[in-house]
Structure 1
Amino acid sequence: MATPAAASDSRSYGIPEAVGVQLAAARAAHTGIDWKACPADWGFEAPIQCGWVKVPLDYTKPFGKTIDIAVDRIGSTGTPQERQGALIYNPGGPGGSGMRFPRRVTTKSPLWVNTSKAYDFVGFDPRGVGHSAPISCIDPQEFVKVPKADPVPDSVADKNAQRKLAAEYADGCKERSGEMLPQMTTPNTARDLDVIRAALGEKKLNYLGVSYGTYLGGVYATLFPTHVRRMIVDSVVNPDQDNIWYEANLGQDVAFQGRWNDWQDWVAKNDAVFHIGDTRAKVQAQYETLRAKAKANPIGGLVGPAELIGFFQSAPYYDSSWVPVAQTFSAYLAGNTQALVDAIAPDMADTKANATAENGNAVYTAVECADAKWPTSWAKWDRDNTALHQKYPFLTWSNAWMNLPCATWRAKQSTPIEVGAKRGLPPVLIVQSERDAATPYEGAVSMHKRLAGSRLITEQNAGSHGVTSLVNPCINTRVDTYLLTGKVDAKDVTCGPHATPVAPVPAAAKSLAKTPASDLPALEELPAVR
Structure 2
Amino acid sequence: MRRTAVLGSAGTLMAGTLIAGAIAAPVASADSRHGGTSEARGARIAAERAAKEGIDWADCPAGWGIPKPIQCGWVTVPLDYARPGGKQIKLAVDRIGSTGTPAERQGALLYNPGGPGGSGLRFPTRVTNRNPVWANTAKVYDFVGFDPRGVGRSAPISCADPQEFVKAPKADPVPDGEADKRAQRKLAAEYAEGCAERSGRMLPHMTTPNTARDLDVIRAALGERKLNFLGVSYGTYIGAVYATLFPGHVRRMVVDSVVNPSREKIWYEANLDQDVAFQTRWNDWKAWVARNDAAFALGDTPEKVERQWQRLRAAAKKAPLGGVVGPAELIGFFQSAPYYDSSWAPVARIWGAYAAGDPQPLIDAAAPDLSDTAGNAASENGNAVYTAVECADAKWPTSWKKWDRDNTRLHRNHPFMTWANAWLNLPCATWPAQQRTPVDVTSGKGLPGVLIVQSARDAATPYEGAVELHQRLKGSRLITEKDAGSHGVTGLVNPCVNQRVDAYLIGGTLDGRDVTCEPHATPKP
Shift of 1:422: 4.4
1:60 is aligned to: 82
Say which of 139, 143, 156 aligns to 1:121. 143
The answer to whether the Cα contact below 8 Å between 1:422 and 1:452 also exists between their aligned partners in 2 is no
Alpha-carbon distance between aligned partners in 2 of 1:103 and 1:282, rounded to the nearest angstrom: 42
1:302 is aligned to: 324
2:296 is aligned to: 274
The answer to whether the Cα contact below 8 Å between 2:243 and 2:444 also exists between their aligned partners in 1 is no
1:9-48 aligned at under 5 Å gives the runs 16-48=38-70
1:115-514 aligned at under 5 Å gives the runs 115-503=137-525
Shift of 1:482: 0.4
Shift of 1:15: 6.7
Supply the AA of the counterpart residue of 1:262. D
The answer to whether the Cα contact below 8 Å between 2:395 and 2:436 also exists between their aligned partners in 1 is yes
1:76-87 aligned at under 5 Å gives the runs 76-87=98-109
Say which of 123, 129, 141 aligns to 1:107. 129
Alpha-carbon distance between aligned partners in 1 of 2:465 and 2:208, rounded to the nearest angstrom: 17
Shift of 1:347: 1.0
TM-score (norm 1): 0.92
- What is the SS of the residue equivalent to 1:241? coil
Per-residue CA deviations over 1:182-230 (Å, capped at 9, x if unaligned) read 0000000000000000000000000000000000000000000000000
Shift of 1:368: 0.1
Per-residue CA deviations over 1:216-259 (Å, capped at 9, x if unaligned) read 00000000000000000000000000000000000000000000
Per-residue CA deviations over 1:393-443 (Å, capped at 9, x if unaligned) read 000000000000000000000000100114311110000000000000000
Per-residue CA deviations over 1:107-159 (Å, capped at 9, x if unaligned) read 00000000000000000000000000000000000000000000000010000
Shift of 1:317: 0.3
2:17 is aligned to: none
- What is the SS of the residue equivalent to 1:54? strand
1:6 is aligned to: none
Alpha-carbon distance between aligned partners in 2 of 1:214 and 1:132, rounded to the nearest angstrom: 20
- What is the SS of the residue equivalent to 1:230? strand
Shift of 1:491: 0.5
Per-residue CA deviations over 1:446-485 (Å, capped at 9, x if unaligned) read 0001111000000000000000010000000000000000
Per-residue CA deviations over 1:315-359 (Å, capped at 9, x if unaligned) read 000000000000000011111111111111111011000000000
- What is the SS of the residue equivalent to 2:357? coil
Alpha-carbon distance between aligned partners in 2 of 1:55 and 1:89, rounded to the nearest angstrom: 18
Supply the AA of the counterpart residue of 1:461. D
Alpha-carbon distance between aligned partners in 2 of 1:359 and 1:479, rounded to the nearest angstrom: 32
Residues matched between the structures, number: 490
Instruction: Give the root-mean-square deviation of aligned CA atoms.
Output: 0.7
1:97 is aligned to: 119
Alpha-carbon distance between aligned partners in 2 of 1:63 and 1:408, rounded to the nearest angstrom: 31
Moved over 2 A (4+): none
- What is the SS of the residue equivalent to 2:264? helix
Supply the AA of the counterpart residue of 2:259. V
The answer to whether the Cα contact below 8 Å between 1:187 and 1:216 also exists between their aligned partners in 2 is yes
Alpha-carbon distance between aligned partners in 2 of 1:225 and 1:144, rounded to the nearest angstrom: 41
The answer to whether the Cα contact below 8 Å between 1:138 and 1:358 also exists between their aligned partners in 2 is yes
The answer to whether the Cα contact below 8 Å between 1:231 and 1:428 also exists between their aligned partners in 2 is yes
Alpha-carbon distance between aligned partners in 1 of 2:400 and 2:309, rounded to the nearest angstrom: 30
Alpha-carbon distance between aligned partners in 1 of 2:298 and 2:132, rounded to the nearest angstrom: 35
Alpha-carbon distance between aligned partners in 2 of 1:499 and 1:227, rounded to the nearest angstrom: 37
Per-residue CA deviations over 1:34-75 (Å, capped at 9, x if unaligned) read 000000000001100000000000000000000000000000
Supply the AA of the counterpart residue of 2:264. D
Supply the AA of the counterpart residue of 1:302. V
Alpha-carbon distance between aligned partners in 1 of 2:401 and 2:426, rounded to the nearest angstrom: 12
Alpha-carbon distance between aligned partners in 2 of 1:306 and 1:50, rounded to the nearest angstrom: 37
Supply the AA of the counterpart residue of 1:338. Q
The answer to whether the Cα contact below 8 Å between 1:29 and 1:201 also exists between their aligned partners in 2 is yes
Alpha-carbon distance between aligned partners in 2 of 1:84 and 1:386, rounded to the nearest angstrom: 52
With 105-114 and 421-430 compared, the bigger mean Cα shift is at 421-430
Supply the AA of the counterpart residue of 2:280. G
Supply the AA of the counterpart residue of 1:229. R
Per-residue CA deviations over 1:284-339 (Å, capped at 9, x if unaligned) read 00000000000000000000000001111100000000000000000111111111
- Percent identity (aligned): 74
- What is the SS of the residue equivalent to 1:93? coil
Alpha-carbon distance between aligned partners in 2 of 1:222 and 1:371, rounded to the nearest angstrom: 15
Alpha-carbon distance between aligned partners in 2 of 1:142 and 1:17, rounded to the nearest angstrom: 37
TM-score (norm 2): 0.93
